[in-house]
Amino acid sequence: MPPPHYYPVLLPLLVLAAVAGVSAGDGGGGEGLERTYIVRVDADAKPSVYPTHAHWYEAAVLAAAGDGAGWPEGGPLIHTYSAAFHGFSARMSPAAAEALASAPGVAAVVPERVRQLSTTRSPRFLGLLSSPPSALLADSDFGADLVIAIVDTGISPAHRSFQDRGLGPVPSRWRGVCASGPGFPPSACNRKLVGARFFSKGYEATSGRMNETAEVRSPLDTDGHGTHTASIAAGAYKVCWVGGCFDSDILAAFDAAVADGVNVISLSVGGVVVPYYLDAIAIGAFGATEAGIVVSASAGNGGPGGLTVTNVAPWMATVGAGSMDRAFPANVRLGNGQVLDGVSVYGGPALESGKMYELVYAGASGGASSASDVYSASMCLDGSLDPAAVRGKIVVCDRGVNSRAAKGDVVRRAGGVGMVLANGAFDGEGLVADCHVLPAIAVGAAAGDRLRKYIASSTKQRPATGTILFEGTHLGVHPAPVVAAFSARGPNPQSPDILKPDLIAPGLNILAAWPSSVGPAGIPSDIRRTEFNILSGTSMACPHVSGLAALLKAAHPTWSPASIKSALMTTAYVRDNSNGTMVDESTGAVAGAFDLGAGHVDPMRAMDPGLVYDITPGDYVNFLCNLNYTEQNIRAVTRRQADCRGARRAGHAGNLNYPSLSATFVAAADDARATTMRTHFIRTATNVGGGERAVYRASVAAPEGCNVTVQPRQLAFRREGQRLSFTVRVEAAVAAPGKRMEPGSSQVRSGALTWSDGRHVVRSPIVVTVQAPLQ
């Protein structure tokens, strides 16, 4: 049975999108070819001659494109925006976009990009018990009267996770709609699923009219990702996987969510990191934040490599993924006596008991369909395996290129009886449990190497043999949590002064709702059906934080989005259930701040953080000033004019009142120069600890080779809501005298600043990065 429905009601905002010959980098446009552009305008700049903004927008596009442009039925506009953002999207040539950018009243013209989806037990693991109710659930009235907008692939409204039994009326401020269509009648919405919309115009403008035999023109989820993420934020648990979403549609979802009156927006999509004034998600999220809405976004699944984090704007909560204390172990028993540990959630018929099957690795042992395509066969790509070579055998497939479940389907169609999915060096020891279509197991890089060597040493007389055994579900696993190998890592590629990800939450092997029309493997050939499914990704971690943000907002209705994020970050923990420092799944080494941000979310402590670091929209403007953005760039993000003279005199981008502190130094190319570099951070803490008087004292765990001082070291608050400021000074020893760093190398050192009044512990990570020039 699924857990009780104790999270807030939600609004799923479906973004119908698919990658149809469109790259994530260019949005589908080429030199001189039409593509979709998002245009931001000054709301009060509409000439009086036009009766509506839409008339003005259409006239502006027509003037920029010239008389020869052809338009689809309905005119050039795709979407118009008026809540989170003022402007429109339209398809035009680069030349027309350039002309439009200089038109009166136009603040910015941004090319559209295609985004990707960042693809149980977590309430108990998070300490959220419904009976008896935890303090957070009780104090927030179980999130009643809050609305979460899920921007994803839609929702399956008939699933029992979205039943409204026992819930009160729809929040009175709700202004949204229940958009109907195939498979989604007007009656699909209720007191829990309060509304639904779908946005497909941007997708269809680029890819052509949708194929309605394969896709549904309604909020109905035919992928699974949206149902999974929505049920995590709403009370059940489900994982999601990869799809595609177009910026113009995502921005339309943001715009509708703000207008509809939501409290939290949960966004499990990501893509290429670009400057904030070119990033439609960052722009939409700023408008939502300015309206008092918390925006939670997935960090991406590009880990474990560095500089892979996405959705890095400081006004969003960027969420990485960790494990829980639950595992799905399986192992490979080899004919030579070795046992290789792995994971799997395969639940179908097992391999014959006691039988050892021949093992084949098509990357080296002749299992390829053609001698010239050994690489494709090693990856088990479609059509790459020779049925005569793999029939009746267990096939070893390298991880990468196609989906993990798709590899198993390729093996099954070629006649294989089982699969071992082996990590390469990049993936390390990070494992994801999948619901495969045949007996299959995932093993880490070290086990994969041993397996390949065993197969390579075999002969016709003594073939390599083995079998796969499944061990079910194990609870109380140690250590937990660990940082999931796939979870995207910092540093922040756009603004290194802002540590990203912000924090991590459960995102590995998450059980959640699943559509009845989609097989659990997520591939067309899978005809099995299930109510719940297990998936992994920062897509799954993000809605956990979205749901917690809604609970905090219900308990503290006057808190700003920045205060809620601060409470989640400064109360996060960095030690696992073995009381050791949290580790990185991919390597087993201690995880750093670029892996887990401030740490793993702790809902109970976040309820009463003691202090918060609040940030106003004006503070974000100053931050953009200190990134050396032009006034035009800033206006593209914030809809306001900016005078940066005061902001730049006051400090640097790192002085944004953020709950973490990140400094980057560039080492001198000449080792004869000074070996110590300095910076400072100014922070302002607000007392929310519940008492009129409180005295907080600072303690510092300085990063290695650094000297960190705090002034003053004591903050004496006289009342609730009082704000007091302090300065943190950091001196970093770049290198020992006479020694130089290798050109292009970097050193990352981590520490922490902690404020405590004896009852609250308010922790902020300190990260110091020293970079050597390329020469």
Active site residues per annotation: 152, 225, 539
Those residues with Cβ within 8 angstroms of residue 132's Cβ, 6 or more apart along the chain or in another chain: none
In terms of Cα–Cα distance, which of 435, 625, 583, 422 is closest to 520? 435
Q: How do 418-422 and 440-443 pair as beta strands?
A: parallel
Q: What is the DSSP letter of 349?
A: P
Place of tokens 């990704």: 537
Q: What are 728's two structure tokens? A: 């943190």
- Rounded Cα distance, 606 and 239, in Å: 25
Phi, psi of 66 (to 5 degrees): 85, 175
* CA distances, 58 to each of 92, 362, 733 (Å): 12, 57, 58
Quick check: 395 and 418 in contact, CB under 8 A?
yes
3-class SS of residue 290: helix
- Rounded Cα distance, 394 and 412, in Å: 10
Q: What angle do CA 258, 261, 262 make, to 5 degrees?
A: 80
Work out the burial of residue 7: count CB atoms within 10 Å of its CB; fewer than 13 is exposed, 13-18 middle, 19 or more buried: buried
Which amino acid is it at 601? Answer: V
Strands (E), 527-675: 532-535, 611-612, 661-666
- Rounded Cα distance, 406 and 242, in Å: 13
In terms of Cα–Cα distance, which of 289, 350, 336 is closest to 317? 289
* CA distances, 67 to each of 38, 61, 96, 98 (Å): 21, 11, 11, 16
Phi, psi of 481 (to 5 degrees): -80, 160
Place of tokens 């809809």: 639
Quick check: 269 and 250 in contact, CB under 8 A?
yes
User: Left (φ > 0), alpha (ψ -120 to 50) or beta: where does 60 sit?
Assistant: alpha
Q: Taking the chain, what is the end-to-end CA distance rounded to the nearest angstrom?
A: 61
Please name every residue paired with 664 in a beta bridge, in sequence order, or none if there are none.
769
* CA distances, 578 to each of 316, 477, 719 (Å): 31, 10, 39
- Rounded Cα distance, 320 and 76, in Å: 39
DSSP H or E segment with residue 70: none
Those residues with Cβ within 8 angstroms of residue 211's Cβ, 6 or more apart along the chain or in another chain: none
Which amino acid is it at 395? Answer: V
Place of tokens 């990352």: 748
In terms of Cα–Cα distance, which of 98, 100, 78, 23 is closest to 250? 78
Q: Note the helical H segments in 12-106.
A: 53-65, 94-101
Strands (E), 282-412: 294-298, 317-322, 326-327, 329-334, 339-343, 357-361, 394-398
Place of tokens 């136009």: 106
Q: Note the helical H segments in 208-322.
A: 225-234, 247-260, 280-290
- Rounded Cα distance, 79 and 13, in Å: 15
- Rounded Cα distance, 309 and 499, in Å: 10
